[in-house]
Amino acid sequence: MATPIPLFVVVVVVLLLLSSSSIVAQSDQPVPFIYNGFNQSNLKFVRPTVLKASVLKPSGALRLTDKTQKVIGRAFYPHPIPFHLNTSSSSSNPNKTISSFSTHFVFQIVPSGSSRGGHGLAFTISPAMEFPGAEAGHYLGILNATNNNKSSNHLFAVEFDTVNGFNDEYDGEGNHVGVNINTMSSDVKEMAFYYVDGSDNKEEVTLESGDPIQAWVDYDGSNQVLNVTISPISKPKPIRPLISKDIDLSPVLLENMYVGFSAATGNKSSAHYILGWSFGLNGAAPPLNLSKLPVVPVEKKSSRFKPEIKAILGALSVVVVILVAALLIVMAYRRRLNFENLEEWELDCPHRFKYKDLHVATKGFKESELLGTGGFGAVYKGALPITGEEIAVKKIMSNNSVHGMREFAAEIECLGRLRHKNLVNLQGWCKRKNDLLLVYDYIPNGSLDSLLYHPKNGFVLNWEQRFHIIKGIAAGLVYLHEEWAQVVVHRDVKSSNVLIDGEMNGRLGDFGLARLYDHGTISQTTNVVGTIGYIAPELAQTGKASTSSDVFAYGVLLLEVACGRGPIVDHPERGRVILVDWVIERLQTGGMVDVVDPNLGPGYAVEEMELVLGLGLLCSNPKAEARPSMREILRYLNGDDLLPGIDKLESAICARQVQETMARFFISRDGVTTSSSIGQISSSSFEAGR
């Protein structure tokens, strides 16, 4: 007969069984949980061969990846989470089969250097903690090309993506938040931002800013609504979520699932950190204590060199620094010597301007500041940044480097030392690489030809102003030919090179073609340059410029001023003819009134007009020896001497010799003299030698 078991033993056994059952039940209810840092955590690190995720000591930050390229890092809560409800608990709502859940975490993405990093991290719910064959880069260490978009994955993820262009099917812009079901193609995604105070106003959040960012993922199992919210760590949880989507997770989530994080890098890389994490079922996740979260340490680059190699490199670095410093000192010294070793003409007046000052003065050589263009470059209006003084800056075109340098040197050499009230004043110059710049006084009223042929607002130069201008140019040419240390032959006297200042004085400019020679010698210049209509016959035949060839051009200028016509005139029968021919023909067939600029009306002094026309014809005599000098011309204009043999204009035509011997010449672009009737010249704007 069996011995009866004492009652107290039965009681003890029952109590032990109940206790054991209670312990098992407690271990099966692992949530809610909270980690304010991960020093004492029991996280499970899934360790692919490409990287170990780890907790940094002593900070307690969970680092999923460092800044190595093409690596993966994962960390999971070690216990499975029961997401399916039992029948009794869901009887009140038969559609509710999945528990509500909520998670709150703080992450930090620190890109490599100053460039954009990659690729991002994801909060995941998955059947297992391992993802066999998962790829780095855009797959974030979760899926691969083979299993992507398969329902058997049973994967739920919220991605925080920082790299553009996975491909058109899977991804859009970087810096976005997406909800993924079994695939890396987000069912819904939004650019990373948060709503301010529940309004429609939103602020962007840069995921890879290197600053901590809060994230909340909340799922309402009863209503099957998923909300995803983010904000900077300094802001509380926004009232309005970033993403709110109706979604049924019952086909996705199995009865027991694992929650965790996965991150990956690719050709672009970032360090991905989780600073704190909490999770709860059927209720809000426990709030994190933000003040207790770890601070990500500043990562120091480890040296790959041994101490002895470091020492050698350090010594070499010192030597290199010394050599570079010495080289810079020598270069600066030589530059200073070169700068201070100025020629005499540089010491007189012109000085070097800084390129940046001229660039600022002309507003970057802006098109609106352009005053005009010439054979070699453009002229811009400007104002010096310090004084505000108005200037004109001639920028010589770099694509004419040979001619440009020649012009640059000529103008510097001439204008650098010339000073006369009827010459354009050169203030200074600048050379920068291929940019050649000359700085002049700004002449407000523009060129004489524009005032004669294109007057603005009905303004017409009256005769008194015209007579004053031509006298001033004559005085300037006297200075060039006789009064300066050397003879200066301008070689391009014409109305477009005469500028009119604020007091209506004529000032001769553009010395780019000028040539110098000593007094008492003969010019050796042999190339033909100038403008058709102003070129003296002997210059066309021999190529030798002289003061007399300047006188010829000045004579044409006198006729221009009196007649209001350019150096080439349209003839009703002969086409385009030289102005001198036209004036002679008109004077022979009519009278002075037929050649005078009609814009003047009767408002001119007849004697002065006769003088200017007669002097213009005398200066344009085809024989150089028959022309007066500029000093004689100035005396005629000032009334100090009478024009020889001219009591009336009719006797000033100097016989028909002028028309007959004006030459039958045409100067080609190469300076070759050919036989052609002047009456057949087809262009008045051709400039020989340019």
pLDDT tens for residues 507-560?
998 887 888 888 887 776 656 677 888 999 888 788 788 999 999 999 999 999
278, 104 Cβ separation under 8 angstroms: yes
- The reported pLDDT for the residue numbered 529 is 75
The Cα 209–Cα 452 span in angstroms is 67
The Cα 415–Cα 618 span in angstroms is 29
Q: Which two tokens stand for residue 460?
A: 């017409």
In one-letter notation, the amino acid at residue 655 is A
Give the chain's count of helices (H) and strands (E): 13, 32
CA dihedral 442, 448, 450, 454 (to 10 degrees): 140
Q: Cβ atoms within 10 A of the Cβ of 407, count?
A: 24
3-state class (DSSP) for residue 584: helix
Whether the ω angle into residue 111 lies within 30 degrees of 0, i.e. cis, is no
Question: In Å, what is the CA distance from 662 to each residue of 536, 539, 541, 585, 657?
Answer: 8, 12, 12, 13, 8
Is the overall model pTM greater than 0.85, yes or no?
Answer: no
User: Which stretches in the chain have pLDDT values below 50?
Assistant: 1-2, 9-29, 89-91, 168-172, 302, 339-340, 342-349, 646-652, 654-690
- The reported pLDDT for the residue numbered 512 is 74
Where residue 255 falls (left for φ over 0; alpha for ψ -120 to 50; beta otherwise) is: alpha
Measured in whole angstroms, the distance separating CA 575 from the mean position of its chain's CA atoms is 50
The phi and psi torsions of 500 (rounded to 5 degrees) equal -115, 120
185, containing H or E segment: none
674 burial level (CB within 10 Å; 0-12, 13-18, 19+): exposed
Q: Which two tokens stand for residue 304?
A: 């790959």
- The reported pLDDT for the residue numbered 337 is 52
138, 184 Cβ separation under 8 angstroms: yes
141, containing H or E segment: none
The Cα 75–Cα 53 span in angstroms is 7
- The reported pLDDT for the residue numbered 18 is 42
The Cα 42–Cα 19 span in angstroms is 25
3-state class (DSSP) for residue 611: helix
Smallest CA-to-CA distance from 477 within 462, 496, 461, 498 is with: 498
Whether the ω angle into residue 58 lies within 30 degrees of 0, i.e. cis, is yes
The phi and psi torsions of 122 (rounded to 5 degrees) equal -145, 140
Q: At what angle do helices 547-563 and 463-478 cross, to 10 degrees?
A: 180
376, 397 Cβ separation under 8 angstroms: yes
- List, in order, residues 6 or more apart from 48 with CB less than 8 Å away: 72, 73, 74, 134, 141
The Cα 148–Cα 167 span in angstroms is 13
Strand pairing report for 81-82 and 54-55:
unpaired
| DSSP β-bridge partners for residue 231 | 214
136, 265 Cβ separation under 8 angstroms: yes
Supply the DSSP string of 444-465, one letter for each residue. TT-BHHHHHHS-STT----HHH
Where are any strands of DSSP class E within 366-476? 370-373, 377-383, 390-396, 426-432, 435-441
Residues involved in catalysis: 492
Where residue 372 falls (left for φ over 0; alpha for ψ -120 to 50; beta otherwise) is: left
Give the ranges where 418-508 is alpha helix by DSSP (H). Answer: 448-453, 463-478
In one-letter notation, the amino acid at residue 549 is S
- The reported pLDDT for the residue numbered 92 is 53
**What single-letter DSSP state applies at residue 482?**
I
Q: Tens digits of per-residue pLDDT, 220-269?
A: 999 999 999 999 999 999 999 999 999 999 999 999 999 999 999 988 89
The Cα 618–Cα 655 span in angstroms is 11
Give the ranges where 257-394 is alpha helix by DSSP (H). Answer: 307-340, 344-348, 355-361
End-to-end Cα, the chain, rounded Å: 138
